[in-house]
């Protein structure tokens, strides 16, 4: 879980903002002229899990309300505007580049001091009740719900136990016995089950839409046939014909989408039938921060498929290294510069058998092993060539 953070924003033409940990450590102090709310949100998200957004004003500015709504964070404001003297006192031992940063940092320290006693109580409660790993979740629950520490902790503990029980039941369900009486485990992960469910929901919606469109078309035809025999105007005829054509085009499009969804669902079911010969691969658009956040949960030693490996961020690379990711299957060719910088083994997609469906893919184990052997041979040949030189 990412560390929880306290954010304060100083709105204006030049926006200043500061981020503190719950213990009062300074995580970031920045300012930028004309920064857009979306860009500001992105930068704030990088500091951690935002639970509290503050201001130095008693009357909450519009930007504060807007950003706090995006994070579902608690708003903290003083009863009266913080004075210049109070701000100087709160930041006297710190360096700030400008007044915007100083105002934000002062209000951040004000907010942290206001709630530090609560944070200490929660820490003490978590330690006494062996809930240290849930400390930040308890803080978040208390701030969002306003419930007591004990009630919030009990709710978190109950959810945790329910998830554990549900996981145990799922693991029992994916065991089946073969003809020889040996236990054989199939590994369709929860991710696959969700993808399968999502596809079925899409099919259901498409069928419903097709049915509605067909009903509309039948009504329109019936209405057209029951119209007075008096010859309508040319313009009215053209309009009706245009509506009919539009409905038919829409139906054709929906039927095509439904057909594609059915084919994709069949393909996924086929892959699941031979899951023991496959490796589940997580798909990413690139190696940037947003793509990493959008990707399905990446686990230790996973293989990932990346469309454009040449677009990356240091943060994502660090997180992938921490998860001990070694192999990346690349869609676009890897530039020489990228290959030199990044510590991964890149395998072009065209050299392995990989089927891609949304956020996941199925990699044939045999094709991966074959490529590994070719890769080892190349390394040996290059080594021998270098020795001869």
Residue 282 binned pLDDT confidence (cut-offs 50, 70, 90): confident
Which of 95, 65, 88 shows the shortest CA–CA distance to 77?
65
What pLDDT does residue 179 have? Answer: 45
Which of 231, 190, 223, 16 shows the shortest CA–CA distance to 105?
16
pTM, to two decimals: 0.42
Per-residue pLDDT of 129-183, as tens digits, reads 888 888 888 998 898 888 899 988 888 888 877 777 666 665 565 554 444 444 4
Beta carbons of 344 and 326 less than 8 angstroms apart: yes
Per-residue pLDDT of 185-207, as tens digits, reads 444 455 556 666 766 776 677 77
Query: CA-based Rg of the chain, rounded to a whole angstrom?
Result: 29
Both structure tokens of 260: 């594609």
C-alpha angle with apex 321: 377 to 24, nearest 5 degrees?
170
Task: At 368, give phi and psi (nearest 5°).
Answer: -70, -45
Both structure tokens of 252: 């054709």
DSSP notation for 281-334: EEEEEEESHHHHHHSPPP-TT--EEEEEEEEE-HHHHHHHHHTT--EEEESSPP
């Amino acid at each position: 879980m990412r560390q929880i953070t306290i954010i304060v924003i100083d709105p204006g033409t030049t926006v200043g903002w500061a981020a503190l940990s719950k213990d009062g450590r300074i995580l970031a102090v920045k300012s930028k002229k004309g920064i857009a709310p979306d860009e500001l949100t992105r930068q704030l998200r990088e500091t951690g899990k935002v639970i509290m957004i503050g201001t130095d004003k008693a009357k909450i500015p519009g930007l504060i309300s807007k950003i706090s709504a995006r994070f579902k964070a608690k708003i903290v404001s003083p009863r009266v505007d913080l004075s210049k003297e109070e701000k100087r006192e709160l930041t006297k031992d710190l360096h700030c580049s400008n007044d915007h940063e100083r105002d934000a940092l002062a209000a951040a320290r004000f907010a942290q001091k206001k709630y530090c006693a609560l944070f200490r109580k929660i820490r003490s409660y978590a330690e006494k009740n062996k809930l240290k790993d849930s400390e930040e979740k308890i803080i978040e629950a208390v701030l969002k719900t306003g419930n007591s520490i004990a009630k919030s902790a009990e709710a978190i503990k109950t959810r945790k136990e329910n998830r554990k029980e549900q996981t145990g039941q799922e693991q029992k369900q994916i065991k089946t016995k073969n003809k020889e009486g040996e236990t054989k485990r199939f590994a369709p992960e929860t991710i696959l089950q969700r993808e399968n469910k999502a596809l079925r929901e899409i099919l259901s919606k498409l069928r419903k839409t097709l049915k509605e469109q067909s009903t509309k078309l039948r009504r329109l035809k019936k209405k057209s046939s029951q119209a007075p025999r008096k010859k309508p105007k040319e313009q009215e005829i053209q309009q009706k014909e245009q509506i009919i054509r539009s409905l038919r085009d829409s139906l054709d499009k929906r039927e095509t989408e439904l057909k594609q969804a059915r084919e994709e669902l069949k393909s996924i079911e086929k892959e699941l039938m031979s899951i023991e010969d496959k490796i589940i691969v997580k798909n990413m658009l690139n190696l940037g921060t947003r793509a990493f956040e959008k990707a399905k949960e990446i686990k230790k030693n996973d293989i990932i498929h990346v469309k454009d490996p040449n677009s990356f961020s240091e943060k994502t690379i660090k997180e992938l290294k921490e998860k001990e990711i070694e192999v990346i299957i690349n869609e676009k060719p890897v530039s020489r510069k990228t290959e030199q910088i990044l510590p991964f083994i890149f395998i072009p997609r065209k050299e392995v058998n990989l089927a891609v469906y949304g956020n996941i893919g199925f990699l044939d184990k045999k094709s991966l092993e074959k490529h590994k052997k070719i890769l080892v041979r190349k390394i040996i040949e290059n080594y021998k060539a270098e020795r001869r030189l």
